[in-house]
A and B are shown apart, each in its own frame.
Chain A
Amino acid sequence: MKEFYRVLSAEALKLRRTLALRLAVVTPLTIVILVFGIYAQRHETISPGANPLTGFAQLILTMWTIILLPLYAALAAALLASIEHQGNNWMRLLALPVSRGFIYAAKWIAGIALLLVSSLVLSTGVCAAAEALRAIKPGWGTMALPTTMIFKGAILSFCAAGLLFSIQMWISLRWRGFLPGLVVAAVALILMFLSARGGGALFASIFPWSLPAMAMAPSSPHRVLAVTWGVFGGAAVSAIACFLLSRHEFE
């Protein structure tokens, strides 16, 4: 276990000054600022009993889980893998006297940590933006901040993203370059939109790229299934990938 901690600590050091780490903060903040800008300029009447802050948070979470989270997961996986691919660093890393499985597992955990950071930045950003709206919009100051809904939605969608991230990570580690991972992500997103138009709720709750959206929506009947499948499917795929990658030869 100590050996795994050492590899993990080295992996954390590798993240310094990387684009993957910067994007973990920039990506969620971008969507928060964009939607905040729209809401800040919009003049609307509040229906009795309605909380516009819930709509504000839900809009951001929906955009995050449907588009940005899957895209960021693909990009983070490709960027993390490229750290090793670019400098031919596999040569050195795999010739070190440590378990190869640990080397790959540490890479996975680094990626998962980035997704968690981005989800937490998103939740905090949404809360801060909602607080700002309460301060600047007349009549919004009395509205309750839907903090639980925001954090619960972000964390559950993060858990459900485990499976899609594991697939993206496997592809990115196995093949050099950004193209394979990003092509898979793009095709998967198109499939997800097509299935949504077809109304396949069950398909959406098992298709890896739509799991975060299913897990985020409080009204979704397959929310538990999406989260469970995302977590355990992700764990299974990562275990299989680590095993296969550790047997792979870099010729």
Chain B
Amino acid sequence: MSDPLMIETRALSRAFGSQKAVDNLDLQVPRGSIYGFLGPNGAGKTTTIRLLLGLLRPSGGSIFFNGEPFTENRRRLLRDIGALVETPSLYHHLTGRENLELTRRILDLPRANVGAALDFVGLTSDAQRPVRTYSLGMRQRLGLALAWLGQPGLLLLDEPANGLDPAGIRELRAQLRGLARERQVTVFLSSHVLNEVEQIADWIGIINRGRLLFQGQLQSLQQYQSPLSVRVDRRADASALLKEKGFNVREEGDDILSVQTSSEEDAATVNALLMRHGIQVFRLERRQDPLEDIFLRLVSGSERGSAA
């Protein structure tokens, strides 16, 4: 039997009045992965995380962690989940250590976990200061320490790099990668900062208007969503031919076509088609579009679709 997914949602939906914030979401997050959950503001990322934590009740669908239904086992399953939702939830009149101690008491964790969590985020030397004196980045790091306090198997992080300086972001990336590789911790992080996700995530989910537009490995997203760049001798003929066969073609430069394909087989089809019609192909390559371009293409495509 295959390893159950760390997170699986089936047709998960949540509406606020007539507004669907999450619409038939089928998430599949493999264990030990770093899953980047991308979407523009208001796409439904935070609502999804709140649903996953049981802070909101779904209007429809179901959630499974490790193959177990969440609704029936909420408290037991939450023991293995650490979360940072939106801005870190902190008690500003307490010190950093007291904030961790408070959660430690509730979760009945060993005292050593407080020191370990402070160490993990590099706040040990500032632990005795009241949180109200912390900078935004320090608060964010304390929020991460709270999420990691119970050393859970799953971290749900909503915009975890908010307020961190470049060095802090790099450190966070290294820490999360380390957790995933060495401890098999699954990290589900939502963000609208594509560059950040591109550098850390190995799985990607793209959401817009509550609907999942893509889900899969980052590599395959870049592979299949990036267009083919084809250099030919008769650009106009080649363009007409490919358009006739249903390909989305854009002419670039004097002899280059940009062809949108959805699989690796399409590249072979394009090549064979052009050769069969006597068009010489000098170069056929798949450009690795940055995630940002792919993301914007998917999001604008879905918006055109819903407007139509």
Residues of A within 8 A of B (CB): 2-3, 6-7, 9-10, 13-14, 16-18, 83, 86-99, 249-251
Contact of B86 among A83, A88, A249 (CB under 8 A): A88
Is the Cβ of A16 less than 8 Å from the Cβ of B94?
yes
Contact of A86 among B55, B92, B105 (CB under 8 A): B92
Chain A residues near B50: list those with CB within 8 A. Answer: 91
Contact of A95 among B54, B90, B93, B130 (CB under 8 A): B54
Contact mask B81-114 → A, CB, 8 Å, 1/0?
Answer: 1010111011111100010011101111000000
Shortest Cβ-Cβ A-B pairs, 5 listed: A92-B89, A97-B78, A95-B53, A89-B89, A97-B75
Contact of B75 among A83, A86, A93, A98 (CB under 8 A): A98
B79 adjacent to chain A (CB < 8 Å): yes
Q: How far is the CA of A93 from the CA of B55 in the complex (A)?
A: 10
Could you give 20 example pairs across A and B, Cβ below 8 Å? A2-B108, A6-B106, A10-B102, A18-B93, A87-B90, A88-B89, A89-B89, A91-B85, A91-B89, A92-B83, A93-B89, A95-B54, A95-B78, A95-B81, A97-B74, A97-B79, A98-B75, A98-B106, A249-B56, A251-B16
Chain B residues near A10: list those with CB within 8 A. Answer: 102-103, 105-106
B57 adjacent to chain A (CB < 8 Å): yes
B76 adjacent to chain A (CB < 8 Å): yes
Is the Cβ of A14 less than 8 Å from the Cβ of B86?
no
Contact of B83 among A7, A86, A95 (CB under 8 A): A95
Knowing A16-B93, A87-B90, the reply to whether A250 touches B102 (Cβ < 8 A) is no
B232 adjacent to chain A (CB < 8 Å): no
Is the Cβ of A17 less than 8 Å from the Cβ of B55?
no
Q: How far is the CA of A251 from the CA of B85 in the complex (A)?
A: 13
Q: How far is the CB of B159 from chain A (nearest CB, A)?
A: 13
Chain A residues near B91: list those with CB within 8 A. Answer: 14, 83, 87, 89
CB-nearest residue of chain A to B130: A17
Q: How far is the CA of A42 from the CA of B267 in the complex (A)?
A: 102
B189 adjacent to chain A (CB < 8 Å): no
Chain A residues near B105: list those with CB within 8 A. Answer: 6, 9-10, 13
Is the Cβ of B78 less than 8 Å from the Cβ of A249?
no
Q: How far is the CA of A93 from the CA of B76 in the complex (A)?
A: 15
Q: How far is the CA of A251 from the CA of B21 in the complex (A)?
A: 12
Q: How far is the CA of A14 from the CA of B106 in the complex (A)?
A: 12
B6 adjacent to chain A (CB < 8 Å): no
Q: How far is the CB of B119 from chain A (nearest CB, A)?
A: 21
Is the Cβ of B106 less than 8 Å from the Cβ of A91?
no
B256 adjacent to chain A (CB < 8 Å): no
List B225-262 residues whose CB lies under 8 Å from chain A.
none
Q: How far is the CA of A250 from the CA of B87 in the complex (A)?
A: 15
Chain B residues near A92: list those with CB within 8 A. Answer: 83, 85, 89, 103, 146
CB-nearest residue of chain A to B85: A91
Q: How far is the CB of A214 from chain B (nearest CB, A)?
A: 36
Chain B residues near A96: list those with CB within 8 A. Answer: 78, 103, 106-107
Q: How far is the CA of A88 from the CA of B90 in the complex (A)?
A: 8
Q: How far is the CA of A92 from the CA of B90 in the complex (A)?
A: 9
Chain B residues near A87: list those with CB within 8 A. Answer: 89-92
Having A7-B106, A10-B103, one finds 17 other A-B pairs with CB under 8 Å, namely A6-B105, A6-B106, A10-B102, A13-B105, A17-B94, A18-B93, A83-B91, A86-B92, A87-B89, A88-B86, A90-B89, A92-B103, A93-B89, A95-B54, A96-B103, A99-B75, A251-B16
Is the Cβ of A251 less than 8 Å from the Cβ of B94?
no
Chain B residues near A99: list those with CB within 8 A. Answer: 75
CB-nearest residue of chain A to B80: A97
Q: How far is the CA of A251 from the CA of B79 in the complex (A)?
A: 23
Is the Cβ of A89 less than 8 Å from the Cβ of B57?
no
Q: How far is the CB of B11 from chain A (nearest CB, A)?
A: 20
Q: How far is the CA of A14 from the CA of B53 in the complex (A)?
A: 23
Is the Cβ of B92 less than 8 Å from the Cβ of A13?
no
Chain A residues near B101: list those with CB within 8 A. Answer: 13
Knowing A88-B86, A97-B76, the reply to whether A13 touches B102 (Cβ < 8 A) is yes
Contact of A88 among B16, B53, B87, B94 (CB under 8 A): B87
Q: How far is the CA of A16 from the CA of B98 in the complex (A)?
A: 10
Is the Cβ of A91 less than 8 Å from the Cβ of B92?
no
List B42-77 residues whose CB lies under 8 Å from chain A.
50, 53-57, 74-77
Q: How far is the CB of B183 from chain A (nearest CB, A)?
A: 20
